Structure 1
Amino acid sequence: MRATVGRVLADCRDWLDARGRIAWLVAMILGFVAAWPVGLFILGYMIWSKRMFGSCTHRRHRDGEAQRFYRAAPTGNAAFDAYRDETLKRLEDEHQAFVDFLAKLREAKDKAEFDQFMDERRNA
């Protein structure tokens, strides 16, 4: 249940991010109109995550799926910036490979459970 709520909140955040700062402001105002604690929570989140003053989260699309990554300001040291960008890209690729692995693992588990169910049903 907790993972589902977290996923829904993450989807809402991503949806608002895709529409920009105006969408966040509209959500905050509607939150204040509906129930002031909701609007206050959205305002606090906007300030804490720096969505109020400019976002550090950029979006890119990969195989039709949106993926988040952090874009840091250049440090002035070209070698370090290249190393950091390469490391972040490698970590993003490893994360995507792990997510794909988990999806395949879930599919295999579901198939095994379904096959077991069908075998039990045939034998009964």
Structure 2
Amino acid sequence: MNQSALIRPDWTPATIALMVLGFVVFWPLGLAMLAYIIFGERLRDFKRNANDRADGFFNGFRRSTRRYGPTATGNMAFDDWRRAETDRIEEQRRKLEEMREEFDSYLRELRRAKDQEEFDRFMRERGGRGPEANQYPAV
């Protein structure tokens, strides 16, 4: 650990001052600072151990499934039914994705048509004025 840090879990003037200030302002802050001074070094190890335990726990779940789906249960009829249902659901998902793409395409065309209609209306309202009508008259 970097021992030159101003606030480290040790009895330094800065940590003592923060602890006293914490007790003066709001006593749980002072108590928290005292706990940090006393148990701060152990927090790093505690965090590492907690993370390792959680990783081990969740790795147990990862081992129980294959990369692309659940493992075989041993009951061939159930596994066949599950595979058929998974295929059916995947087919429905593919159809829904195609419908979504068609709808997105429809919306793009609808927006383009609306923009074209607004542009055409603007041009009609503008009348016969061409680019030369916008120029200033010669003096």
> Structure 1-normalised TM-score?
0.42
Task: Name the one with the larger strand percent.
Answer: 1
